[in-house]
Amino acid sequence: TKWVYSFGGGTAEGRAADIEMLGGKGANLAEMCTLGLPVPPGLTIITQACNEFYKAGRHLNAELKAQVTSGIARIEALTERSFGSNDHPLLLSVRSGARASMPGMMDTVLNLGLNDETVAGLARDAGDERFAWDSYRRFIQMYGDVVMGLGHDLFEDILEDEKARCGRELETEMTAEEWRAVVVRYKQVIEEEAGEPFPQDPQTQLWGAIGSVFASWLNPRATTYRMLHNISQEWGTAVNVQAMVFGNLGNSSATGVAFTRNPSTGENLLFGEFLVNAQGEDVVAGIRTPQNITEAQRIASGSEKPSLEKLMPEAFGELLAICRRLEAHYRDLQDIEFTIERGRLWMLQTRAGKRTAKAALKIAVDMVEERLISRDDAVARIDPASLDQVLHTTIDPQARRTVIGSGLPASPGAASGAIVFTSEDAVRARKEGRDVILVRVETSPEDIHGMSAAVGILTSRGGMTSHAAVVARGMGLPCVTGAGNLRVDLRNGLLIGGGLSLKAGEIITIDGSSGQVIKGAVPMLKPELSGDFARIMEWADASRRMRVRTNADTPADARTARAFGAEGIGLCRTEHMFFEGERINVMREMILASDEAGRRAALAKLLPMQRSDFVELFSIMHGLPVTIRLLDPPLHEFLPKAEDEIAEVATRMGLTPRELSERIDALHEFNPMLGHRGCRLAISYPEICEMQARAIFEAAVEAARQTGAAVVPEIMVPLVGLKAELDYVKASIDAVAREVIGAAGLPIDYLVGTMIELPRAALRAHVIAESADFFSFGTNDLTQTTFGISRDDAAQFLETYMRKGIIEKDPFVQIDYDGVGELIQIAAERGRRTKNALKLGICGEHGGDPTSIRFCEERGLDYVSCSPFRVPIARLAAAQAAI
């Protein structure tokens, strides 16, 4: 096996495309060498060697060692130094480099090869005693920490002690003699603590360092990081062994990091920091304040310390030219590490730079204009999920935060407001013009008015598809759910967490993008929807196939969604309209009526209200498709729960509290999600469905007259499992349609379709399609029913499942490709076998999730529908899936 790939002297055995084998760092070092950039010669041990290392019980095999040895001989030849000799000693850096960047998670050893003898050779070569001893003490410290596992503090304590003893403020002030004394003490402490001396043999040092870089792949830090970032344990890390160049060789030397453009604004200006007379870890350690690279950056930051541009103009000029070259080559923002040794620039790393969403948009648009990339490239580059950062108010990344707890990032954006514990208080505060955060254990449909009066929602229970999460996303309100480390103590009116007890009225901030809950108000950044964002969205629209609709229940939702580019409504959950204002009382009258006549009387009062809602929705959507779903939730959801409320409602309905309680008990269900809901309601109480159909058709007639645009309502029947269910409901819809349309004398086209949210419906799709004009996949329920996992109770154990690696992703967030996905595929195929032109869409929460959107594209769906604020994300994700 070829375990080792060499680079240096203008050539390399690997290249950028070999990232899986060489890791990010190794692949790009090789690439830079081939480009003729100044890179210290070195070698990369491939990632597969890491797996071999573990297989062999943490041992390096002889073949690998032999290849490393000959790779080092090549480095010796190129540098005219020799490893382990005190005549021109070669020093090495040993650094990790996985396929994906894992900043700071794994180990590094610098200045390897130094010992009591070679330190003299280094001093002679450099003509600088102090430098040599500084390098030696750095090496012992790193080796003792990383390879011998003695811990950083042990050495830091000695260092601080010696600095104090010598009266030195800064490390740069230490003399050769003083460093020598530090080295003596370091070696002593190692011998004491490890029971063996610091190894003087450079070969021993080398194998020890390589082994510990491999071993660091499985350290807890790295393992956690991989879990959080979806990096496979199997990948392993490569090891890069490279000739040292020294940034700590006096005042004409320096080390730094830079981005080829500003990673937070995207501005096309070199951006970075460096330290004079320092080695890489000093920049990271933050002991000294780094200096700016460009003058522009220095002036902007108000720093007094000279920029690299001023201080070392030649090296700066070269750096600038190299950065241009790298950008032209990689056609992306680069994040680089460099060292200047006595005025000479060396490149130590380059990789695609992490950036904010705002910067990503600007850089992509600028690079199209600079003809570096195509429009499709630009669209493909933007992480759809990151658009949340530009669509919502966000916490200023510079802001200090006192985090008191955290939960699920259920609806993005951030908001600060006073704590209220009830919806009534939220509404009252809103009237007084105060911003409030509604804090609940969980929310129910009764909280709608309180939620819409709040600037943010926080619940201690519930998952990503809990009521609070779904409604907040729909309203574009920031929301954190399932904050289990916070306690909502309603009895005493306290929010308890992070060692604090906060009362109603105290200010908190929630960050619905990270799930953090923060004490007090925090500086925020406003959204920015024009400019670069608009350009990218325009290019995305040009490349996508699927349509993007929105889930909108109210005119406000519909308007927001239109502004974000929604191409119609894919789901209007009509029940949400029944909670507004007075309607809930009429709804309760209907539910509590003792016979059909009573129900019809109440429904007659609801009809004009529904009709006016639909007229408004049709007008806002102006000819775009609007899908209206018949009533879905079980009726008891509309009834009061708290005792005082029961008393109040009873009076209003002319019942005794006891009678009302009995009615409520009679409607109680053990498992409401699988209970008397969906089309089952329309079958038990056809008059409800008739009223809704009438409201829809009358509204369509009215809106068509008002706007002059054709209105084609799409009526959707929820929770169908049997064709007969759909047929029954469809018959009553058709009858109402004939009557209303006939009376109006205006031709109105309409569609009747069904949601596919039960496995049986998916399996029997070819039969159901005979009666359906369209299918809309209700993947919230379909996930729930396929897994047999209650969407409202899943948050807790799904988290355990993810932590224990039983599942990778919450299936309520990202479509379960294998199970739910297969049902969707079956339904799509079977449905279209019956009806070629059957329109297919998705309206579960997955309709706004980029990975799930890719799935929908692959399965040939016609559209996705998502909450208004996710519409731009869906437009972008749909384009990326199609490119």
* Residue 24 binds to ligand PEP (criterion: CB under 6 A): no
* Residue 880 binds to ligand PEP (criterion: CB under 6 A): no
Both structure tokens of 422: 């009830």
* Residue 571 binds to ligand PEP (criterion: CB under 6 A): yes
Element at 176 (helix H, strand E): helix 176-194
Both structure tokens of 459: 């619940």
Closer of 199 and 445 to Mg ion (Cβ): 445
Both structure tokens of 363: 């850089």
Closer of 76 and 632 to ligand PEP (Cβ): 632
Nearest distance from residue 671's CB to ligand PEP, in Å? 14
Inter-residue contact 748 to 741 (CB < 8 Å): yes
Inter-residue contact 532 to 428 (CB < 8 Å): no
Q: How many residues line the site for Mg ion (CB under 5 A)? A: 3
Phi-psi label, residue 467: left if phi above 0, alpha if psi -120 to 50, beta otherwise: alpha
The dihedral over CA atoms of 299, 271, 280, 93, expressed in degrees to the nearest 10, equals -150
Nearest distance from residue 852's CB to ligand PEP, in Å? 11
Which residue of 81, 137, 381, 573 would you call a contact of ligand PEP, by CB under 6 A?
A: 573
Which residue of 425, 781, 810, 816 would you call a contact of Mg ion, by CB under 5 A?
A: 781
Residue 477 binding result from ligand PEP, Mg ion, none, given CB thresholds of 5 to 8 Å by partner type: none
Q: Which of 843, 846, 856, 866 is catalytic?
A: 843
Closer of 722 and 882 to ligand PEP (Cβ): 722
Chain Cα centroid distance, residue 173: 45
Cα(108)–Cα(216) distance, rounded to whole angstroms?
A: 10
Which residue of 619, 779, 852, 880 would you call a contact of ligand PEP, by CB under 6 A?
A: 779
- Catalytic residue check, 33: no
SS3 of 751, please? strand
Q: Which stretch binds ligand PEP (CB under 6 A): 83-91, 157-165, 471-479, 776-784?
A: 776-784
Closer of 107 and 781 to ligand PEP (Cβ): 781
Residue 576 binding result from ligand PEP, Mg ion, none, given CB thresholds of 5 to 8 Å by partner type: none
Q: How many residues line the site for ligand PEP (CB under 6 A)? A: 10
Please name the amino acid found at residue 470. Answer: V
Cα(734)–Cα(839) distance, rounded to whole angstroms?
A: 19
Which residue of 256, 412, 474, 778 would you call a contact of Mg ion, by CB under 5 A?
A: 778
Residue 844 binding result from ligand PEP, Mg ion, none, given CB thresholds of 5 to 8 Å by partner type: ligand PEP
* Residue 466 binds to ligand PEP (criterion: CB under 6 A): no
Cα(236)–Cα(46) distance, rounded to whole angstroms?
A: 9
Q: Which stretch binds ligand PEP (CB under 6 A): 406-414, 612-620, 760-768, 774-782?
A: 774-782
Which residue of 365, 843, 874, 878 would you call a contact of ligand PEP, by CB under 6 A?
A: 843
Closer of 238 and 843 to ligand PEP (Cβ): 843
* Beta strand spans in 547-705 (E): 547-551, 569-573, 626-629
* Residue 861 binds to ligand PEP (criterion: CB under 6 A): no
* Residue 632 binds to ligand PEP (criterion: CB under 6 A): yes
**Per-residue binder mask for Mg ion (CB under 5 A), 739-768, x = binder:** ------------------x-----------
Closer of 524 and 683 to ligand PEP (Cβ): 683
Nearest distance from residue 613's CB to ligand PEP, in Å? 17
Contacts of 799 (CB under 8 A, 6+ apart): none
* Cross-strand partners of 839: 774
* Residue 637 binds to Mg ion (criterion: CB under 5 A): no
Q: Which of 33, 50, 392, 467 is catalytic?
A: 467
* Residue 640 binds to Mg ion (criterion: CB under 5 A): no
- For 682-693, what is the HEC assignment? HHHCHHHHHHHH
* Cross-strand partners of 361: none
Q: Which stretch binds ligand PEP (CB under 6 A): 327-335, 509-517, 582-590, 778-786?
A: 778-786
Nearest distance from residue 844's CB to ligand PEP, in Å? 3
Inter-residue contact 42 to 206 (CB < 8 Å): no
Both structure tokens of 327: 């950008």
* Residue 553 binds to Mg ion (criterion: CB under 5 A): no
Q: Which stretch binds ligand PEP (CB under 6 A): 164-172, 312-320, 516-524, 773-781?
A: 773-781
Other CB atoms within a 10 A radius of the CB of residue 231 amount to 18
Cα(760)–Cα(776) distance, rounded to whole angstroms?
A: 15
Cα(249)–Cα(254) distance, rounded to whole angstroms?
A: 8
Nearest distance from residue 780's CB to ligand PEP, in Å? 3
* Residue 847 binds to Mg ion (criterion: CB under 5 A): no
- Catalytic residue check, 636: no
Angle 9-12-18 from CA coordinates, rounded to 5°: 155
Cα(516)–Cα(211) distance, rounded to whole angstroms?
A: 39
User: In which residue are the tokens 């879990």 written?
Assistant: 227
Closest CA to 717 of 666, 742, 668, 681: 681
- The binding site for ligand PEP (CB under 6 A) comprises 571, 573, 632, 757, 778-781, 843-844
Q: Which residues are catalytic?
A: 467, 843
